[in-house]
């Protein structure tokens, strides 16, 4: 993930791993290191999930050091 973020060369890159239809593990990386939180990345990731799965109403992101984020 770190190498992909470095290649993207953006301020942050979000990575989501699907656990089930509504639950995802979420991580963020800058080109240099893992980031503790990225609000824009979280919203952008949820936008993609909702666009691809219009039947769901809530997405839960599981973040190791934060817990759950409900969108």
Q: What is the pLDDT of residues 30-62, one digit of tens each?
A: 999 999 999 999 999 999 999 999 999 999 999
12 is annotated as an active-site residue? yes
Domain residue limits at 11 = 1-70
Domain CATH code at residue 10: 3.10.310.10
At 17, which helix (H) or strand (E)? strand 13-20
SS3 (DSSP) at 71: coil
**Count of domains in the chain?**
1
What does the alpha-carbon distance between residue 68 and residue 8 come to, in Å, rounded to a whole number?
27
pLDDT of amino acid 26: 98
Tell me phi and psi for residue 66, to 5 degrees: -110, -30
Which residue among 12, 25, 34, 68 is the active-site one?
A: 12
pLDDT of amino acid 58: 97
């Amino acid at each position: 993930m770190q190498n992909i973020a470095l290649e993207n060369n953006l301020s942050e890159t979000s990575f989501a791993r699907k656990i089930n239809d509504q639950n995802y593990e979420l991580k963020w990386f800058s080109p240099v290191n893992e980031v503790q939180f990225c609000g824009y990345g979280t919203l952008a990731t949820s936008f993609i999930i909702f666009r691809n799965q219009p039947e769901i109403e809530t997405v839960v992101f599981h973040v190791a050091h934060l817990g759950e984020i409900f969108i």
